[in-house]
Structure formats: C-alpha cells, structure tokens
Structure 1
Amino acid sequence: MPFSKGEKWRAIAEDFAMICGFPNCVGAIDGKHIVIQAPANSGSMYYNFKGSYSIVLLAMVDARYRFLMVDVGAYGKSSDGGTLSLSAFSRALRNNTLGLPSDKPLPGTDRAMPYVFVVDEAFPLRANMMRPYPGLNLASEQRVFNYHLSTAWRMVECAFGILASQWRVYRKSLGVSPETAEKVVKATCILHNYIRGHSEEEDPSTLSFMPPESSPGMQCVGQVGSNRASQEALAVRDRFTSYFSSPIGRASWQNVQNES
C-alpha cells in the first residue's frame, strides 16, 4: 500500500472534516495483535503481554474505513514501545517523506495548523499525532476535544471490526508460520479495501461487524510509544481544544448540551 501524497491527503482530510467533524485529520491509527500458533524455536520473541503468541498489525485508515497503510510482522513482545518507532510509517513521518500538505488554518480561522493523525492513549503525543487528554478529572474543553478525537479515531476500530467479521481467520489463532501469517493479514487488508471501494454503504450502523476485541484472533496492543510530549505537540493539541470549544468549531451537539 503506497503512501498517499499531496491532493490525496487533502481529500482524506476533507472526509474526516465532513464525516467526523475533525478538520486537518489525515488518518486514524491503531494496532492489533494477530494471534498465531507458537512458532518453533522462537523463544519469547512472539510472546505478548496477554499471554499468547502474535505478530503486530499497525494500521492507518481513512474516514471511510479503508486502510491507507499497514505495517505487519513486528514481534508480539515488541508492542511495548517498539512497534510504532520501528515501523515504515514512523520513519517516513520523522523524515518528512509522507508528502503531507503544508499547514492549513482550521475552518474560519487564520492561524496555520498541521495535518494530524489521531490515535488513542497507547500512542505518543506529537505535533502531527493527536492523542486524548489522559485522566478522569478533565476540564470541559478537554472532554470536548477527547470526544471529537474519539469520533475520528473510531474509524480504525470500525475497520478492524469489519476485517474480523469478513475473514474467519481472525476468529481463532492462525495455525501458520509467522511469515505466512504476515501474508494472510496483508491480503485480507487489500481485499478489505477492494470491497470497500465497491460498496456504497458508509454508515457503520448499517454494517455487520463484531468489535475487534471480541475476536479471539485479534487483540489490543499495549503501550506503543513514550508518553513524553514536546511543547510544540502540547500547543497543537491545546489549539485544537480551543477551536472545538469556540463558536466557529463548536459542533451542533455542544449547542444542545449548553442549552439544556
């Protein structure tokens, strides 16, 4: 799956803004353990923190549940910190070779903001990678930001759920070698995109799929990156937070909530 560039990124961002209400978003990222049988003579390399053997699937999807990038094959034990940093996607992001468009102001504003990917709390916060605010005692603006982010991020969870429902191989551990398992996962992701490209259904409520965590062959990953964030990353998240609570960026449900 070649990385998108230029106008393709802008089209992806327009979809996230229209469908999820999150402007300047160019992808939702998450990872899953793909459970496999214990490989011969592999020691603990494939043994993960959940007590099973696995390879890791790191994926980025668009707002229409299509895989934009998959990185498959990391050892199950490497999910704690190494999966993201060692991926081709992370290297391209660090080296500025993804071809992301230049910074663009959020709708109705005049301050340029970077294009970003949305992730959950297992991933690091970066200037172009937004994760939710941690903790329970959050300010109202922070809770609003977390809601907007989760609305966009759930697209990758929906994609995993569709994948687990369509392909029976994910309903139990893969009884093949890690090399073959990697090919199987890549093939199902490509076929998933083909099906999505020929389907008119885009509303997840109309689709039949199981939550990925309920599929025995697919498990959540642990921490995949450091929690240390730069001042730039914190500032970008704060600007998104202020935007979503401003009259320009406020969603309709926020207006109803305030009136009640």
Structure 2
Amino acid sequence: MRKCIPVQERFAIALRFLATGDSYTSLSYLFKVSIQTVSSCVTDVCKALIKELSQEIKLPRTSSDWLRIEKGFRRTWNFPHCLGAIDGKHVLIQSPIHSGSEFINYHKTFSVVLMALVDADYNFIFVDCGCQGRISDGGVYRNTNLYKQICRKELGFPPPDCLPLKVTPLPYIFVADSAFALTENMMKPYAGTHNKGSKERVFNYRLSRARRIVENVFGIMSAVFRVLRKPMLLQPDIVTDIVMTCALLHNFLRRSKRSRLIYTPPGSFDTENDDGEIQPGSWRDDQNGVASLLPLQNRPRRAPLSAKNIRDQLAEYFITNGAVAWQNNY
C-alpha cells in the first residue's frame, strides 16, 4: 500500500508550483510522485489556502473604513476622494475542452480575467477572477460583485464631500485606465495629448501616480508567483483558484512587517525622487518574457455628462490647489 503524502510535502509541491510555474511533469520528477498526485496537491492546497485566508481580502463596509483608504491616497499620492485603484488582466490559459470561442480574448488567445481593486498601501481590497476572456472590458467590470454592490449602494461609501478650498460636493471615486468607462464613481484619464501645464495634463499625471499602485501589485505578484508569467495548461476553474490563492498570499505576506520586508524589500515598488521623476521598481527588471497577464483592451468610451463634470472639477482642483513645485513639469 502506498504511503500517504505528508501535509508538509503537499504544501511544498503546491508552493513550488506557485513560485516557479514548473510543469506538473517537472514537479513529478523532482518530488518523485505521479503527475496525478502533483495535480491533486496543487488543487487541494489552493482550495485550503483560499478557505483559510479568505479574510485577507475584504471590502470596507463603513464610511470610516473607506475614509482610511482615502486618507492614504490623499497623503501619499496627492489624490483626494480616491477610494482605490482598479485594473484588470487577462490570465492566459490553454483552450478549455468543448469551450468553443467562450474564452477567446481580443488577442485571439484563451484567457480568464483577473479584476482587482487595491488600496494606497499595495494591498488588495477586492479581487474577482474567472470571467471569460471573450467578454468586453466593460462587461467584465459590470459582472463583478463590486459593480453590483456599488449600483445597489451597499458598500457604505462616504457621502459626497467638498474638495479642500472648494464648495461643490463631489462623490468619492476609483481611479482606472482608459479601458474603463468614465462614471460618477470611476475616473480615467483625458484622451489625447494635452499642452504642458494644462489642467487635463496635470490631472492625467496625478491619476497616473495613483493608478500605478495596482500596476505595481500585479508586477510584484507575477515576479514572486511565477506561475502567473506564462499560459497555464489547466482548466479555467483551477486557474481561478490558483490566481485567487496568489492574491490572498500577497496580502498575507504584506500583513506583518517581517514578511513584508522579505516579500517586498525596499526598492520593489516604483518610487519618485524629489523632482517627481519615476524610479522604476525592481519588479520591472523581471518582466521580460512575461507571456501572461495581458492588459485589458483600451477603447474610447463616451462618458455621462455628470461624470465629465466631476473629472473637470478634480482637474481644476489639481491645477489650482495643493500643487507641488515639480508639478509644473507636467
């Protein structure tokens, strides 16, 4: 009778897979177990970690919790009224059996979509993974529980408030790139090229600084969990569990000071010098050859008039209040 594989070895197999992205065949040879055993270990350990770490990623539910996140964006990134940076990535997979064109994305490859919202301290506060790659970028967001709860006003957002030195109350918002639609709760850059010193260019610069957080989180996660760096030869439900496990482990490793310094040592994230110039984080040096985590498609979208007015007022605030000296370079 074959001996039962110890729990420690099952975790070692699964964590080795997440950290390296090695094939099941390679892991089978390394640990001297069957491919089926490797598959079972990866699946079971991921499900166990998702259950155990489920509270590592959770949406704020009260106005005071959201305001703590807003305080981080306002102090660190000079972007008031921001409750999070949102972005999505296509996680490439093999063609699922009998799926037809269900998972084919705009790159003509197969994928599931990872949608994430992060706070000012590089932590996930919402993750959704598993939406089929064929669904449009806007459709992916509208299919998330985050969007549905926003529409039902269940998230406890702070009521609209005035910007410093302003008198018009504005709603609190997320920041995103041009792949998303401009709405009252979602700000994206102005399209096109704008003159130096214009409110549009300054707004785009400020938004880019705040939105870069989510880009850094994706970069760090794929640099450490290298299974995310190439297409996965697995079924979509297993890929979804793997991606969710990586996201939960990201927050878990960022929670304590000791593990944070090991997982994201100084220099890992993008920083700015005193002149406002971006100093690339170390994760960017490790992105050559990354074949997975493709960006969502960027397409121009017409915004409601009220959403445009909110963006214009934020842009006007940035150009007239709270500016720093090197902002004049933008």
TM-score, with structure 2 as normaliser: 0.72
Highest CA radius of gyration, 1 or 2?
Answer: 2
Q: Secondary structure at the match of 1:78?
A: coil
The amino acid that maps onto 1:168 is R
1:171 Cα offset (Å): 1.8
Q: Once the two structures are aligned, what percentage of the paired residues are identical?
A: 37
Q: Determine if the alignment matches structure 1 residue 254 to structure 2 residue 327.
A: yes
Query: Which one of 42, 53, 58 corresponds to residue 2 of structure 1?
Result: 58
Residue in structure 1 matching 2:185, options 122, 128, 134: 128
The structural deviation recorded for 1:37 is: 1.2
User: 2:318: which partner in 1?
Assistant: 244
Answer yes or no: is 1:194 the counterpart of 2:252: yes
Deviation per residue, 1:80-109 (Å, 9 max, x gap) = 431111111111111111211112222233
d(CA) in 1 for partners of 2:287 and 2:219? Answer: 5
Aligned pairs for 1:1-260 (under 5 A) are 1-5=57-61, 6-137=63-194, 140-198=198-256, 199=260, 204-205=269-270, 208-210=282-284, 215-223=290-298, 227-246=301-320, 248-254=321-327, 257=329
The answer (yes or no) to whether the contact 2:194–2:200 under 8 Å persists in 1 is no
Determine the C-alpha separation between the residues in 2 that align with 1:49 and 1:122: 13
RMSD (Å) for aligned C-alpha atoms: 2.1
Check conservation: 1:53, 1:76, Cα contact below 8 A.
yes
| Cα shift readout 1:116-135 (whole Å, capped 9, x = no counterpart) | 10000110001111010001
Contact 1:243–1:250 at 8 Å: present in 2 too?
Answer: no
The 8 Å contact of residues 83 and 174 in structure 2, kept in 1 or not, is answered as yes
Structure 1 moving runs of 4+ over 4 Å: 200-203, 211-214
Distance 2:249 2:294 in 1: 21
C-alpha distance in 2 between matches for 1:10 and 1:215: 36
> Greater helix percent: which structure?
2
1:213 and 1:223 mapped to 2: Cα distance? 22
Q: Does the 8 Å CA contact 1:212/1:219 hold for their aligned counterparts?
A: no
State which drifts further: 55-64 or 100-109.
100-109
Q: Partners in 2 of 1:60 and 1:101 — Cα distance?
A: 17
Match of 1:126, SS state, is coil
Query: Aligned pairs, how many?
Result: 255
Greater shift after overlay, 20-29 or 210-219?
Answer: 210-219
| 3-state SS, counterpart of residue 153 of structure 1 | helix
Q: Which moved more, 1:79-88 or 1:173-182?
A: 79-88
Residue 215 of structure 1 and its aligned partner are, at CA, apart by 2.1
SS in 1 for 2:237: helix
Give, in whole Å, the separation in 2 of the partners of 1:7 and 1:242: 27
- The C-alpha deviation readout for 1:143-165, integer Å capped at 9, x for no partner, is 00000000000000000001110
Query: Closer, same or farther in 2 for the Cα pair 1:134/1:202, shift >3 Å?
Result: farther
2:168 corresponds to which letter in structure 1? Answer: R
User: Per the alignment, in what secondary structure is the counterpart of residue 250 of structure 1?
Assistant: coil
TM-score (norm 1): 0.91
Partners of 2:138 and 2:179 within 8 A in 1: no
Which stretches in structure 2 are left out of the alignment for 5+ residues? Answer: 1-56, 272-280
